[in-house]
Amino acid sequence: MATKSAVSDAAERAMRSTLLTLSHRHALGTLATRVPITRPMVRRFVAGETLDEVLPAIGRLGEQGMHTTVDVLGESVTHETDARAASARYLAVLDALAAGGHDRNVSCKPSQMGLAISPALARENIGAIVARAVETGAFVRIDMEAHATTDATLALWQDVRPTGLEPPVDPADGPDVGIVIQAALRRSDRDVDAIIEAGGRVRLCKGAYKEPSEVAYPEKAEVDEAYGRLMIRLLRNSRYPAIATHDVRLIKRAVQVAKAEGISRSSFEFQMLYGVRRDIQEQLVGAGWRVRVYVPFGGQWYPYFMRRLAERPANVSFLLRNMWRERGRG
């Protein structure tokens, strides 16, 4: 007979898989963004709908000693005009960050820049962002999406990396372009080696997409194991890696390795998502480690929000409780 924990693990996996499938349903997304009852929960993960709303949130994080990277929500764009408009929004963000004296650091998605329409369009759109980043001294991170886009995203990163610039005084600063590696993918050991060889800056995450077992580890324990292995390789050998996880066990391991091997606190950073494990974010900053918070904003929050729900089933019951309460009021 299956044990209770095996049953709940299976239920959790099924819930995660359903939520990730629903995250691609555009019609549901359009509906969800028009229904106000999900708003309080969404606001936990999304800093605002407009640039005017997000800048004070960034300022508050800065006052708490956190670094930030700003994400303009949007993905899976199918029209060229939308991709160009998304690129233009990033230019406005970079200008506003520079003008406000904020951390100049943004993260963007290839599919938002038009990768599915054509790699050339995505290159042009991200190229424009990188050109403005060079002007304003900003860092651009290209997020990684589902495995079918990994090769194209790595190629995009190679194409838009600025060359011939002086290295910044603080390695956290721009202008530069970084990439993301997902520990869940079986190919990531190879990719990490190639990026280290190319002198690139990596953000290591576990991977937020639903992937087939031919390309990704199906078991969480395997993903965690791969994360630990890649994390240590990056800490030892790469230029200013970003350890992006809320997994306390892995964070403690990174701290332990850094202390034991004399890896300086200014040669890497932890990264976490806005609204997730704020307690650990504060503890790390209090202990003198660098933390960067990924701050998303904008109206197109649905797929991002669904991935956050999928990561922690307890979020779903919290959302349902909220919706029930609101329904009672209405």
- Considering the complex, state which of residue 81 and residue 317 has its C-beta at the smaller distance from ligand FDA: 317
Residue 311 is a binding residue for ligand FDA (CB under 6 A)? yes
First-to-last C-alpha distance (Å) of the chain: 45
Residues 230/188, Cβ–Cβ less than 8 Å: yes
Least separation in angstroms between residue 104's CB and ligand FDA is 17
User: Is residue 95 annotated as part of the catalytic site, yes or no?
Assistant: no
- Note the helical H segments in 100-238: 119-136, 150-160, 188-197, 220-237
- Considering the complex, state which of residue 166 and residue 214 has its C-beta at the smaller distance from ligand FDA: 214
Residues 307/20, Cβ–Cβ less than 8 Å: yes
Per DSSP, what are the bridge partners of residue 180?
Answer: 203
- Which stretch, 147-155, 204-212, 261-269, 283-291, contacts ligand FDA (CB under 6 A)? 204-212
User: Is residue 203 annotated as part of the catalytic site, yes or no?
Assistant: yes
Least separation in angstroms between residue 81's CB and ligand FDA is 25
Compute the distance between CA of residue 243 and CA of residue 291 in angstroms, rounded to an integer. Answer: 9
**Amino acid occupying residue 149:** T
- Considering the complex, state which of residue 61 and residue 273 has its C-beta at the smaller distance from ligand FDA: 273
Q: Extract the tokens encoding 204.
A: 């290591």
Instruction: Map residue 263 onto helix, strand or coil.
Output: coil
DSSP annotation of 17 reads H
Contact code string over 130-169 relative to ligand FDA, x by CB under 6 A: -------------xx-------------------------
Residue 206 is a binding residue for ligand FDA (CB under 6 A)? yes
Residues assigned a catalytic role: 143, 203
Q: By the criterion CB under 6 A, which residues form the site for ligand FDA? A: 143-144, 180, 182, 205-209, 244-247, 271-273, 276-277, 294, 308, 311-312, 315
